[in-house]
Structure 1
Amino acid sequence: MASNPGPLTNWPWQKLGNVKYMVLSPFVANSLYSIMSKEERERDVTILYIYPFFLWRMLHSQLWISFARYQTSKTNHRIVVDKGIEFEQVDRERNWDDHIILSGIIGYIAVMYLPWAARMPMWRWDGLVLTILLHTGPVEFLYYWFHRALHHHFLYSRYHSHHHLSIVTEPITSVTHPFGEIIVYYMLFSIPILAMFCTGTASVSGIVGYITYIDFMNYMGHCNFELVPKWVFNNFPILKYFMYTPSFHSLHHTKFRTNYSLFMPLYDYIYGTMDMSSDKLYETSLKGRKETPDVVHLTHQTTLQSFYHLPPAIASLASKPYSPNWYMWMLWPIPYGFMFLTWVFGSTFTVERNVFDKLRMQTWVIPRFSFHYSSSRQKDAINGLIEKAILEAESEGVKVMSLGLLNQGEIFNGNGELYLQKHPKLKIRIVDGSSLAVAVILHSIPQEAKQVLLIGNLSKVSCAVSKDLCRRGIQVAVACKNDFYKLKLQLPTELCSNLIFSTSHTHKFWLVGDGGVQRDEAQRRALEGTHFIPCSQFPLAKARKDCIYYSTSAMIIPKALQNVYSCENWLPRRVMSAWRVAAIVHALEGWDAHECGDSMLDVEKVWLASLRHGFLPMVAP
């Protein structure tokens, strides 16, 4: 929102939320009816092109979002700005598709009621030439002066400041404007289209091509990484005045009073508003710089729908905790197609880049879903991918790597011990984060708890939590006899009295691991008001409304940790899993030990270190 919102700031359908697409339904229905009800010689098929073009613009936008986020997370040609993208920007830019809905409405009205727009041919050369001339002249010229006017205090505070709240731009930043401002832009861009109509040179491909060109250049200019090769300007020097670059427009978002042009810097040169550092920033960004992260978090996708929650996927979904959405099933071929492609290429990919003071972090994703990890046939292949990622990080100079979710499974690779056995001279530290996860769980258990029930599969974390509780004099009841005997062998004789075998489900506090208790029927046996505390990296399905469910082990991150604009799986905003935080603390403290296999760091030492660096425990439910 602008600092002092003026008239026509809000979009007409703003309060409709995701239902806003229904405003197009009367036009789509009317177009289908007009085609079906008329005889063949009376039909105007032009109207049938509008909705596919609407879908193409949506797809074009999404491709730019994914491409830009993937490229900027790798940092090679990122335009360096001393700031990051945050959740506030993602929320502000959620309405990026409003202008596409508006263009769809305008298109339907034009074809239905304007005789010029009816029965257009597919292609005309003269219409293309006219469009090029009018865009280069009137459109670019008028936009330049309108843009300068928008930077006057009166208009800037009421309209354009909304757009400039985004210092670090994304492709969709280009179309994040108040309603009134977009109306003026559409009036400017309609000049070549109206001219084609008036001269009888309009064509379907001419209009589609011109609007696609505007979208492409808009998104390119705001993508925040340099992609225009230098040979373009070396071979065609005059293009310097007729085609801008992402670095050119990035300076406008950091300095505000320079580089006002739309797509052609010509008018900035003419009127003296060209930023003198434009060429230098272009060459610096194009040359790129390889940033070596200090910490890498290696994770994987969970369900097929989790694909859409990756940061380079659907921005609005990635900015919220993961939860299945029924409408995402309509796009089921996409994750399957992605799964096939990653299966072919078989390597990790970078999805996020964060900064914590001088510490640089990245998130890498193994191209597999949770169900792959349960297949014995996939075990060697996935372990090979994890090992490849570790060696790649080692060669790049990464200091610490955390193994997230099933990448550290005890049965799968011995909590990461497999990789140390194969490569005992690794300089990179492998961290499974179990010590901090244990600390978070221990500090989550209410002080009044005198007895807890350990249920589900036994793990490294649940074993450590149980042993620590026994040392504190809290009785641990184990629901599985084999797990009871296994734990008993690990306890000193004087503490064994605090460990009991119990088939009762009347305990108020449950420590829940993976396994059968994840299913509804196991939870049904609990008493009303039972506290379910997960020892797993995966959350419990909430089968009871009368019980209390705790989050998986996680901590609130400090404000100094920047460029955080997506949620980690099902966790709330600006909350990270303890397994991931542990690696950050490990690097900050400069600890030299691995934490994988059976080894664990001092739980209290890790807990105090995380608090010292600004990480905070989540408030218990």
Structure 2
Amino acid sequence: MASKPGLLTDWPWSFLGSNKYLVLVPLLGHAAATLLTTESKERDYGLLFPFYLLVLRLIHNQLWITLSRFQTARSKHRIQFKSIEFQQVDRERHWDDQVIMYSILIYAGMFIFPEGKHLPFWNTKGAVIITLLHVGPVEFIYYWAHRALHHHYLYSRYHSHHHSSFVTEPVTATVHPFAEHILYFFIFSLPVMVAVYAGDGSIGAVGGYIVWNDIMNNVGHCNFEFVPTWAFKMIPFLKYLMYTPSFHSLHHSQIHTNFSLFMPLYDHMYGTMDKTTDNLYEISTIGREDKIDVVHLTHPTSLHSIYQLRLGFSYLASQPYTSKWYLWSMWPVTTFLMLVIWIFNCTFTVEKQKLDKLEMQVWAIPRYSFHYSMESQKKPINYLIEKAILDAESRGIKVISLGLLNQGEELNTNGEIYLQKNDKLKIRVVDGSTLAAAVIFNTIPKETSQVLFAGHITKTCYLVALELCKKGSQVTALIALPLSFFSQ
């Protein structure tokens, strides 16, 4: 939220919360009714274009979110090293509002303007018109509009909302007040309107232009540098035509420099280019290795839990895990993801956190919970865990904690087999049983005098029982014995 929110800050459908996609239902119904009641020769299937574009943009932007979070958690080419705060995650959860808005306005435009009906799939002349108008008027108008938004009056009421995100993610690009998006829509619709009015509009060119804008916005806000230096060495003037992630990152950290949209040309022309742009680009390209202190080694649980990770959907990660009905409809994607991590068969970085001076990472074994109950998987899982421990050791990491089923007593005797095989390890291997026991022990009412343990007795249970006995409580264990015990 801006420091002094102005008029039209909130989105019109913000009161709907997570049900905001209902605003598209009347439009989709209208499109279906129009197609069904029109003669087959006169049907304009382009009416469905805004909805196909919406799905494409949602998928495309989610892929950028996943890629960016994966890279910033593990890549040495990270630009800003500061952690992202929970307030930013909550604020940027509604990044798709802009996608909904564009779908509504495009659909409305197809009825308001006769030239927008029955567009062909492709028109090369129209694509050239859109490209030239973007490179010319759009970049120029945006540059000065952006500078105007940094005037104290507009910045405090609108644009400061966007700059609340010091460390950017791809979706930061679309997190603006509603009023700002109205301004941006008029700027970006200029090339499209000219091409359509000239009779050279096409669905492919319009959709391609919008998706290309998404790509470039995501590039500028992804927070890891990947543009190769050889590109600028081979084509020196390219630095005036294409920005880099580090270029726009400086706009968020320095605020009053690097105002250009995608072409830094106007920052060079009007003296707003940040003096440290080239230096930051070179440093980010070379990369800086992180010094990690602690690693937590976990694994996905159910097949759908992959979406609960930070690499997946933020709104799911912010809630306790529950099975969602719509995730079942994504079973082809879920199966594909399971096969991918199975084929690559290597530990992957899930996220990175910083607590004061303590640098921490979460790694995940490419196995789900059901794999741990399979006898044939015990050896491969132990190999992956041991490999992760040795990798952490080689990188100078001080502590690695084994999470969930990675520290099972039947699997690896709570991690002891790795210490026995590698007796010269300097890294501390922690199974978490002491912490778990402490949590359980402190949830038991202090006045409790008798405690019954039932089921399989683990190391954690022994620790809890020991502490209970120390304070004078009577402990009874109900153990399930195998049938072979009674046949002896």
Task: Write out per-residue CA displacement over residues 486-507 of structure 1, whole angstroms, 9 at most, x where no aligned residue.
Answer: xxxxxxxxxxxxxxxxxxxxxx
The match for 2:4 is 4
Give the C-alpha shift of residue 266 in structure 1: 0.7
The match for 1:374 is 373
SS at match of 1:67: helix
| Cα distance in 2 between the residues matched to 1:113 and 1:253 | 38
Give the C-alpha shift of residue 261 in structure 1: 0.7
- Cα pair 2:170 2:220 within 8 Å, conserved: yes
| Cα distance in 2 between the residues matched to 1:8 and 1:182 | 10
What is the count of residue pairs matched by the alignment? 482
SS at match of 2:297: strand
Task: Write out per-residue CA displacement over residues 92-141 of structure 1, whole angstroms, 9 at most, x where no aligned residue.
Answer: 01110001011111121122342111111122221122112211111111
Give the C-alpha shift of residue 322 in structure 1: 2.2
Aligned-pair identity (%): 54
Matches within 5 A, 1:13-24: 13-24=13-24
Task: Write out per-residue CA displacement over residues 471-494 of structure 1, whole angstroms, 9 at most, x where no aligned residue.
Answer: 2111112233759xxxxxxxxxxx
Matches within 5 A, 1:289-328: 289-328=288-327
Matched to 2:31, the amino acid is S
| Cα distance in 1 between the residues matched to 2:179 and 2:238 | 32
| Cα distance in 2 between the residues matched to 1:306 and 1:452 | 34
The match for 1:461 is 460
Matched to 1:337, the amino acid is F
Counterpart check, 1:97 vs 2:96: yes
| Cα distance in 1 between the residues matched to 2:427 and 2:346 | 19
RMSD: 1.4
The match for 1:248 is 247
CA 18–415 in structure 1, closer or farther in 2 if over 3 Å, else same: same
| Cα distance in 2 between the residues matched to 1:409 and 1:449 | 29
Give the C-alpha shift of residue 445 in structure 1: 1.9
| Cα distance in 2 between the residues matched to 1:381 and 1:480 | 30
The match for 1:204 is 203
The match for 1:352 is 351
| Cα distance in 2 between the residues matched to 1:405 and 1:21 | 37
Counterpart check, 1:395 vs 2:382: no
The match for 1:334 is 333
Give the C-alpha shift of residue 30 in structure 1: 1.8
SS at match of 1:93: helix
The match for 2:46 is 46
Counterpart check, 1:272 vs 2:268: no
The match for 1:422 is 421
Give the C-alpha shift of residue 18 in structure 1: 1.5
SS at match of 2:46: helix
The match for 1:532 is none
| Cα distance in 2 between the residues matched to 1:251 and 1:260 | 10
TM-score (norm 1): 0.76
SS at match of 1:201: coil
The match for 1:558 is none
Matches within 5 A, 1:415-494: 415-480=414-479
Give the C-alpha shift of residue 40 in structure 1: 1.8
Give the C-alpha shift of residue 470 in structure 1: 1.2
- Cα pair 1:300 1:365 within 8 Å, conserved: yes
The match for 2:26 is 26
| Cα distance in 1 between the residues matched to 2:410 and 2:307 | 29
SS at match of 1:263: coil
SS at match of 1:457: coil
Task: Write out per-residue CA displacement over residues 428-476 of structure 1, whole angstroms, 9 at most, x where no aligned residue.
Answer: 2211122222223222322111112212321001011112211211111
| Cα distance in 1 between the residues matched to 2:291 and 2:273 | 34
Give the C-alpha shift of residue 80 in structure 1: 2.9
Counterpart check, 1:222 vs 2:221: yes
Give the C-alpha shift of residue 277 in structure 1: 0.2
| Cα distance in 2 between the residues matched to 1:79 and 1:437 | 37
| Cα distance in 2 between the residues matched to 1:480 and 1:457 | 6
104-113 or 151-160: bigger deviation:
104-113
Matches within 5 A, 1:159-178: 159-178=158-177
| Cα distance in 2 between the residues matched to 1:290 and 1:363 | 17
SS at match of 1:447: coil
- Cα pair 1:90 1:315 within 8 Å, conserved: yes
SS at match of 2:95: helix
Give the C-alpha shift of residue 264 in structure 1: 0.7
| Cα distance in 2 between the residues matched to 1:382 and 1:112 | 59
SS at match of 2:272: coil
More helix as a share of residues: 2
The match for 2:262 is 263
| Cα distance in 2 between the residues matched to 1:384 and 1:303 | 21
The match for 1:594 is none
172-181 or 465-474: bigger deviation:
465-474
Counterpart check, 1:183 vs 2:189: no
| Cα distance in 1 between the residues matched to 2:472 and 2:127 | 82
| Cα distance in 2 between the residues matched to 1:28 and 1:383 | 52
Q: Which runs of 5+ in 2 are unaligned?
A: 483-488
Q: Which runs of 5+ in 1 are unaligned?
A: 484-621
| Cα distance in 1 between the residues matched to 2:111 and 2:330 | 31
285-294 or 94-103: bigger deviation:
285-294
Give the C-alpha shift of residue 203 in structure 1: 1.0
- Cα pair 1:90 1:319 within 8 Å, conserved: no
Task: Write out per-residue CA displacement over residues 10-62 of structure 1, whole angstroms, 9 at most, x where no aligned residue.
Answer: 10100111211111111112212222222221111211222111100000110
Matched to 2:91, the amino acid is R
